[in-house]
Amino acid sequence: MEIDTGMEQEINKAAIAFSLTSALWFALATSMGMVAAGYLIAPDFMANIGWLQFGRIRPIHVNLVLFGFVTPGLLAAAFYYVPKLGRTQLFSQKLGVYNAILWNITIAIGVVTLSAGYTQGREYAELIWPVDMLIVINFALVIVNLVMTVRSRKEPILYVSIWYALAAVVLTATTYCLGNVIWKPSSGALVGIQDAILLWFYGHNIFGLLLTPLSLGVAYYVIPKVTRNPLYSHSLSLVGFWGLLVVYTHIGTHHLLQVPVPTWLKVISIVDSVAMVIPVMVFLINIWYTVKGKVGEIHADVAGKFVFAGTIFYFFVNIQGSMMALPQVQRVTHFNNWVVGHAHLGVLAFAGMTALGGMYYVLPKISGKPLYSHFLADLQYWLVLIGSGGFTVVLTIVGLIQGNAWLNGETVYRVLPAIQIYYVLRVAIGFLILSGAYIGLYNIVRTIFFNPGAKA
Amino acid sequence: MSQEMTPKAIIFGSLLILAAVTFVVVLWPYTHRHTAPSEIYRQRTALEESGRKIYLANGCVYCHSQSIRTIDWGHGAERIAQAGDYISDEPVALGSARTGVDLSQEGGEHPDDWHIAHFINPRYTRPNSIMPPFEWLGMENIKSLTAYIQSLGMKGADKRMQRQRHWKEQVATAYEAGPAHNIRWLAEHVPEGWRNIPNPYPTTPAGLARGHKIYQDFCLGCHSPIGDGMGPAQPWIYPPPLNFTILKGREISGGIIYYQIMNGITGSAMPYFKKELESEKIWDVGNYVAEYFINQSDANTEPKGIDASYEP
């Protein structure tokens, strides 16, 4: 890579629109998370407000984080680096902006339908059929824009970030249709245990084929840029890319190890969950060797800090994930808050921080204006870092208490008083993440609008 | 090397991998989907099906699993989940967390009135519960939701519900015959050996403190903080929770109290607590009720056998 043509990039309205989308829904998603966490310490909090009750807020929180915050944030960066790496312009800014508008309308409809109780009742596949269709259309528009950009490129060599961006949107558009059983609009589900098998194949691939490849694409772009080091190895990036696609797609059934599904399917999911160490370590070796000797540059750049922290959390979440797929470990960790901690480590600490880093990296370039406040971005970095790290520690402790107590023969009810204090801590730490999200929203809005700064 | 990566290679290559994997881990199990119904399987009624819709619409699945594992010995592994239990579930609601209890065999564990009080506010029947209240659903929805919960476990649940209905009639008749008859009837349904056993442990401040804690965590939603049976669940429950203050001089031994807490009174809203309370906790809360509400305890009276080593 490192092809700086000096070609002036136009103001990238598509990337700006996706950045604003991400920042806005990050704030709302964490607000929903706070409400949900509030119910766990005070269940009569906002009692009997149907559309705000826990069982409806939780899927709103999850869907907003996945499709409102992290995905658009990572796409904002992709809308910048794909044309940049191809030494060309984005195929259509107009299409990108309309895409972002439609994206927001889709998410808003999703929120309203979920809070009104319209749901497919399947984790990560809650959104009802019309919203599913809108999501698929959104991804199709992204595919058109990115593929046409790649086709019009002037640089023949495709850099690894582009592989990940293209694969992520194409594969997610496909698995989204599959996982939501899009050919059965009435239920959006299969019947019986087969439904669980399909659901977790899909559910895990939201992480494995959407958030992870998009995040890796950002890391592969931002880390060499910030350190001004060439990528350590192009061969490793090839192994990592194909390895990730082969291995990650097999492992969804590790959510069903304690359920009556065929044993051979469980074995595949366990073996491949452990094998995830290979593509993950290949990526991390590649990225961390690229950083070698330049940690100072990372430290000096808030975007680099976010993305680099993301890669460290990627290490932890994957080692943890491989471990959790082992049946003996899962006897303790399944069904409790350990898994919730794992999800926050992956989606917020790894993919979320990477998305924020990607946005902070591209914001000055896509808007032609300097970041409104480096201090606020740095503050947000520490809030989200401490918040997501602390969150994971607290939830892991809760999970260990629950899991071991249950294995020891305690009932769910008997363990509740023991974990209440940790639910309080979770809310307290959640305030850090919440503040970080609103500070980020303010900073990003001020960078794009009402920005008094000179051109960077 | 990277020159080999063309847009076509990326898009079609990754789609090919996805197709191959989907064939192995989704399509292959799907084509072998013809699962035989399990021995407890039955179809749901229209009312139960409408209750299931409410269950799904309100995200009950996020806190309640419907799948008992071999390792769930403390949760009641009377029946381990089988694939044949789920053959008409669309979508399947296995759940991924136990913020609340597993519900796969919940049908018939409690009578309907217990569930209704619990939906109005879960803390009415379970003081430490962290489940949100569902009064806002309205009574009609609460009733279909209750019908669905009572169907969980299918044929097994039907058997338990039949037992609940049988004894509900009996406990209601006994209650309507007046307190004297009711208390005698309740005592008569405790096995004779238990009736003759006094509480073998002496009343101590520590024991009463333990009893107080257990009473707060498990009992006061129905029996109220002063033991008069007028807890917040009372308006929803029939026959109403027992008023302990009328038991004085009616030959209620420690053994009777112990047995009723341990075993519950099927048909009434009184659940069994043998899964949640160890022996000492049952004796302690029983003595707490005897000392404070009945104002008459047979603790540490004969026959009592050899003193336990901790006794003062």
Q: pLDDT digits over A301-335, tens only?
A: 999 999 999 999 999 999 999 999 999 999 999 99
Q: Which of A39, A150, A189 sits opposite B90 (nearest CB)?
A: A189
CATH class of B46-153: mainly alpha
Question: Cβ–Cβ of A158/B121 closer than 8 Å?
Answer: no
Domain around A193: 13-448
Which tokens hold the place of A151? 């086709």
Q: Return the percentage of chain B with pLDDT > 90, whole number.
A: 90
What values do phi and psi take at B43, rounded to 5?
-75, 155
- Chain A to chain B Cβ contacts (< 8 Å): 234
Residue A5 contacts residue A87 (beta carbons within 8 Å) = yes
Domain B165-294 in the same topology as domain B46-153: yes
* Chain A residues touching B11 at Cβ < 8 A: 147, 166-167, 170
Convert the pLDDT of each residue in B163-194 to its tens digit: 999 999 999 999 999 999 999 999 999 999 99
Report d(CA B162, CA B158) in Å as an integer.
Answer: 6
Question: Cβ–Cβ of B59/A56 closer than 8 Å?
Answer: yes
Q: Which of B3, B25, B276 sits opposite A253 (nearest CB)?
A: B25
B117: left (phi over 0), alpha (psi -120 to 50) or beta: alpha
CATH class of B165-294: mainly alpha
Find, in chain B, the residue whose alpha carbon is nearest to that of A411: B75
Number of H helices, E strands in chain A: 18, 0
Q: Which of A55, A193, A234 sits opposite B92 (nearest CB)?
A: A193
The residues, any chain, with a CB within 8 Å of residue B192's CB and separated by 6 or more, are none
Nearest-CA neighbor of B79 among B88, B87, B70?
A: B70
**Spans of all domains in chain B:** 46-153, 165-294
Domain containing residue A238: CATH number = 1.20.210.10
Rounded to the nearest angstrom, the gap between the alpha carbon of residue B127 and the centroid of all alpha carbons in its chain is 13
DSSP A184: -
* Chain B residues touching A170 at Cβ < 8 A: 11, 14-15
Nearest-CA neighbor of B39 among B103, B104, B85?
A: B85
Report d(CA A385, CA A436) in Å as an integer.
Answer: 9
The residues, any chain, with a CB within 8 Å of residue B83's CB and separated by 6 or more, are A192, A193, A260, A261, B35, B38
* Best residue of A40, A120, A195 to probe chain B, by most B CBs closer than 10 Å: A195
CA neighbours closer than 13 Å in the CB half-sphere of residue A189? 25
Question: Cβ–Cβ of A245/B135 closer than 8 Å?
Answer: no
Convert the pLDDT of each residue in A162-209 to its tens digit: 999 999 999 999 999 999 999 999 999 999 999 999 999 999 999 999
ipTM surpasses cut 0.90: yes
Average pLDDT on A230-234 reads: 95
Which tokens hold the place of A39? 């119910």
Nearest-CA neighbor of A438 among A450, A428, A430?
A: A430
- Confidence at residue A3, expressed as pLDDT on a 0 to 100 scale: 46
Return the residue matching tokens 């979770």. Answer: A426
Question: Cβ–Cβ of A44/B130 closer than 8 Å?
Answer: no
Question: Cβ–Cβ of B17/A242 closer than 8 Å?
Answer: yes
* Chain B residues touching A255 at Cβ < 8 A: 96
Report d(CA A364, CA A371) in Å as an integer.
Answer: 6
Q: Return the percentage of chain B with pLDDT > 70, whole number.
A: 98
The residues, any chain, with a CB within 8 Å of residue B189's CB and separated by 6 or more, are B265
Is residue A50 a part of any domain in this protein?
yes
Find, in chain B, the residue whose alpha carbon is nearest to that of A124: B62
* Best residue of A148, A413, A419, A426 to probe chain B, by most B CBs closer than 10 Å: A413
Question: Cβ–Cβ of B98/A255 closer than 8 Å?
Answer: no
Report d(CA A325, CA A251) in Å as an integer.
Answer: 9
- Tell me how far CA of residue A109 lies from CA of A56, A103, A130, A245, A446, in angstroms: 14, 10, 9, 31, 27
> How near does any CA of chain B get to the CA of A408, in Å?
7
- Tell me how far CA of residue A172 lies from CA of A136, A214, A369, in angstroms: 9, 11, 33
Which tokens hold the place of A186? 């009435």
- Confidence at residue B77, expressed as pLDDT on a 0 to 100 scale: 66
Find, in chain A, the residue whose alpha carbon is nearest to that of B94: A196
Question: Cβ–Cβ of B74/A411 closer than 8 Å?
Answer: yes
Q: How confident is the model at residue A281 (pLDDT cuts 50, 70, 90)?
A: very high
Our CA dihedral for B63, A431, A46, A70, rounded to 10 degrees, sits at -60
* Chain A residues touching B1 at Cβ < 8 A: 234-235, 238
* Chain B residues touching A160 at Cβ < 8 A: 2
Q: How confident is the model at residue A6 (pLDDT cuts 50, 70, 90)?
A: very low
Find, in chain B, the residue whose alpha carbon is nearest to that of A251: B25
Helix (H, G, I), strand (E, B) or coil at A88: coil
Is residue A3 a part of any domain in this protein?
no
Number of structural domains (chain A) is 1
In 3-state terms, chain A is what percent helix, strand and coil (to 5)?
Answer: 75, 0, 25
* Chain A residues touching B93 at Cβ < 8 A: 121
Convert the pLDDT of each residue in B22-33 to its tens digit: 999 999 988 877
Q: Which amino acid is at A220?
A: Y
Return the residue matching tokens 């003193």. Answer: B307
Q: DSSP letter string over A380-427?
A: HHHHHHHHHHHHHHHHHHHHHHHHHHHHTT--HHHHHHHHHHHHHHHH
* Chain B residues touching A36 at Cβ < 8 A: none
